[in-house]
């Protein structure tokens, strides 16, 4: 018996691993008896991200053992504290919302925000929205005193992203969406992500869980190729809302609104806005 270190992997996209193998010579054919691999680290766009260990249970609707070493958990309150700790540690997690699956991290951690851009292959000029736990939290990050009383409570929680001015009192890092004086804010109608946002004591940077330019994800399998770059993937099943995402509405102008993306709730959103006497901004984008 002797130790053999392969000089070439059979699959070119497989990360370098050290294999210790025992072979027996039998009628001119060597037969592999055992293989022992250990975990390695991968450089993601200059950021070294730890690949997660294999879970101890195969897929049964809760935890999965998967070849990409991404640790999948059910999106239930039992695992919320784990997710909160990951966010506080500056890690990226994947979570369900009331529309799509998204990548989330601490919006006040520039390193974590950069990691999201690297995972998605997203241009740094494309802004990220934030997610907060409750409507009353929005005023910590954006200006709301230009809006009719009760408007945000009528729109949120729900599948709507409201674009507001940051204002001088915003506690957001200036490095998030630099050069922009506005911020998109979400309060999803999804308890799990709101519990995480509340426990993080910050806002979550939130964007769809996919490669930039690719279809959005309504199932964790849709972005399986990106699992390995997340601390955890939280499985909420197949989301029923389709791939349209949230309706994005600009509310930065007093008494006016502009739909920036129709999304999945345009008609309901417009009806609420007009009930509060807002008129559509017809100026050019």
pLDDT tens string 244-260: 999 999 999 999 999 99
pLDDT higher for 47 or 21?
A: 21
- In whole angstroms, give the CA distance from residue 242 to residue 257: 25
59 within 8 A of 227, measured Cβ to Cβ: no
pLDDT given for residue 175 in this prediction: 80
The pTM of the full predicted model, rounded to 2 decimals, is 0.76
Averaged pLDDT score across all residues of the chain: 81
- Asked if residues 106 and 88 have their Cβ atoms less than 8 Å apart, the reply is yes
Give ∠ CA 200-205-209 in degrees, rounded to 5: 115
Cβ atoms of 91 and 105 closer than 8 Å: yes
Q: Where residue 120 falls among pLDDT bands split at 50, 70, 90?
A: very high
Choose from 11-20, 174-183, 239-248, 262-271 the range with maximum mean pLDDT: 262-271
Binned at pLDDT 50, 70 and 90, residue 63 comes out as low
| Tens of pLDDT, residues 122-153 | 999 999 999 999 999 999 999 999 999 999 99
- Give me the sign of the Cα torsion angle 94, 100, 106, 111: positive
Strands 160-165 and 182-186: antiparallel
Choose the most confident range, by mean pLDDT, from 1-15, 64-78, 193-207: 193-207
pLDDT band with cut points at 50, 70 and 90 for residue 204: very high
- Report residue 282's pLDDT band, with 50, 70 and 90 as the boundaries: confident
What are residue 31's phi and psi, to 5 degrees? -120, 130
The ranges assigned to domains in the chain are 71-242
CATH, domain range 71-242: 3.90.870.10
β strands within 75-226, DSSP E: 93-96, 101-106, 129-131, 160-165, 182-186, 204-208
């Amino acid at each position: 018996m002797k130790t053999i270190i392969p000089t070439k992997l059979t699959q070119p996209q497989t990360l370098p691993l050290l294999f210790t193998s025992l072979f027996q010579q039998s009628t001119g054919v060597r037969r592999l008896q055992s293989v022992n691999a250990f975990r390695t680290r991968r450089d993601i766009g200059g950021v070294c991200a730890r690949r997660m260990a294999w879970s101890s249970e195969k897929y049964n609707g809760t935890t999965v053992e998967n070849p990409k070493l991404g640790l999948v958990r059910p999106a239930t309150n039992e695992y919320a504290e784990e997710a909160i700790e990951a966010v506080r540690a500056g890690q990226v997690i994947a979570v369900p919302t009331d529309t799509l699956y998204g990548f989330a991290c601490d919006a006040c951690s520039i390193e974590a925000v950069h990691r999201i851009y690297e995972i998605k292959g997203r241009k740094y000029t494309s802004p990220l929205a934030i997610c907060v736990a409750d409507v009353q939290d929005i005023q910590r990050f954006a200006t709301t005193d230009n809006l009719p009383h009760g408007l945000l409570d009528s729109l949120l929680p729900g599948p709507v992203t409201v674009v507001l001015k940051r204002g001088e009192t915003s506690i957001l890092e200036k490095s998030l969406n630099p050069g922009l004086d506005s911020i998109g804010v979400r309060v999803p109608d999804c308890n799990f992500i709101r519990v995480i946002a509340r426990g993080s004591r910050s806002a979550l940077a939130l964007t769809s869980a996919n490669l930039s330019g690719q279809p959005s994800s309504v199932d964790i399998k849709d972005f399986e190729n990106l699992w390995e770059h997340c601390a955890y993937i939280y499985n909420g099943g197949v989301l029923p809302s389709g791939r349209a995402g949230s309706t994005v509405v600009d509310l930065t102008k007093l008494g006016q609104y502009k739909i920036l993306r129709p999304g999945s709730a345009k008609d309901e959103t417009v009806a609420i806005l007009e009930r509060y006497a807002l008129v559509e901004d017809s100026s050019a984008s």
